[in-house]
Amino acid sequence: MLFDLKGKRKRLVQVVYVTLAVLFGGGLVLFGVGGNVSGGLIDAFKGTGSADTAAFDDLVERAERRAASNPRSPAAQLAVVRAQFNVASSTEGSDPETGQLTDRGQQAIIEVAQAWERYLRLKPEKIDASAASFAALTYGALTDYDKAVETQELSVESRPSANGYFQLADFAYRAGQVEVGDRAAQEAVERTPRDQRNTVRALIKDTKKEGAAFAKALKQAEKAQREQQRQGGEGASPGQSFGPLPGAGATGAGGASP
């Protein structure tokens, strides 16, 4: 989604996004406490726990070479998705507290999205659920929430989990797809251990409220961008808008193997 966010409107969107990121992260931690819930980003983010820049760069280089040598290999494209996502979610790519992307992180998530789309064009027999979750987070950081919803739906179809459905609900509310969000939220609750469900329902309620505020702010920003383009003539073109990387910190995707 291409548009610029200016002034107070930009600040509002940033505040809402950070709030959602906090809620989202809280949800991931919650679903990982007790019970038999597994899958999704909790499992994927277990692993390295460090941001070794040289190691990440080496992984990216090897993955890119592998993909170039094997352009028809879905696994090779997934290797790029994971390697570049590791960079974006490392301290080199994003702030571990806010998720705000650095220039290096912005380039990395663009590379993730491109590799993911190459992967889908190869029509794999079964979608890789973890990589789909990484790609969905990437689309969220690119502020393309419709794509984030579409991609996270692929993830939960491949590997249903409470984490995955909560993530889907979160993206759907940001995208203004309330019915999709409500269905995903209900799935998240049903897949959560009974003794945690009331807490999850409260979290979803807050997420839905903040998602509605975010969707409203996003529409206002898009309207302002269109008006700016209209006034500026055909020569005016928006730049790529980047938000924080939801749910990702310095841990990266080390737990997921190509």
What would the two tokens of residue 54 be?
């040289």
Taking the C-alpha atoms of residue 82 and residue 34, their distance in angstroms, rounded to an integer, is 28
The pLDDT of 137-162, averaged and rounded, is: 95
**Alpha helix segments (H runs only) across the chain:** 7-31, 41-44, 53-69, 74-88, 103-121, 129-141, 145-158, 162-175, 178-190, 197-232
Q: Which two tokens stand for residue 104?
A: 């290096």
What's the pLDDT score for residue 136?
95
pTM: 0.73
- Give the C-alpha separation, 151 to 154, whole Å: 5
Residue 235 has pLDDT above 60, yes or no: no
Residue 64 CB-half CA count within 13 A? 12
Higher pLDDT, 168 or 101: 168
Q: Over the stretch 86-109, which tens digit does the pLDDT of each residue have?
A: 998 888 888 877 778 899 999 999
The whole-number pLDDT of residue 42 equals 30
Taking residues 53-80, report their average pLDDT.
Answer: 92
Range of lowest pLDDT (15-19, 133-137, 200-204, 231-235): 15-19
User: Most distant CA pair in the chain: distance in Å?
Assistant: 58
Q: Which residue has the higher pLDDT, 6 or 167?
A: 167
Check residue 56 and give its pLDDT.
83
What confidence score (pLDDT) does residue 150 get?
Answer: 98
For the domain made up of 7-230, the CATH class stated in words is mainly alpha
252, pLDDT greater than 60: no
Percent of the chain at pLDDT exceeding 90:
53
In percent, the amount of the chain with pLDDT more than 70 equals: 72
Assign 240 to helix, strand or coil. strand
Predicted local confidence at residue 165, as pLDDT: 95
Q: What are the residue ranges spanned by the domains of the chain?
A: 7-230
For 43-55, b/e burial (b = at least 16 CB within 10 A) is bbbeebeebeeee
Structure-model confidence comparison of residues 229 and 69, the more confident one: 69
Judge whether residue 3 has pLDDT over 50: no
More confident residue, 180 or 221: 180
- 18-40 pLDDT, tens digit each: 433 433 343 333 333 223 333 33
Computed over every residue of the chain, the mean pLDDT equals: 77
Mean pLDDT of 207-212: 92
Q: What confidence category does residue 44 fall into, taking pLDDT thresholds of 50, 70 and 90? A: very low
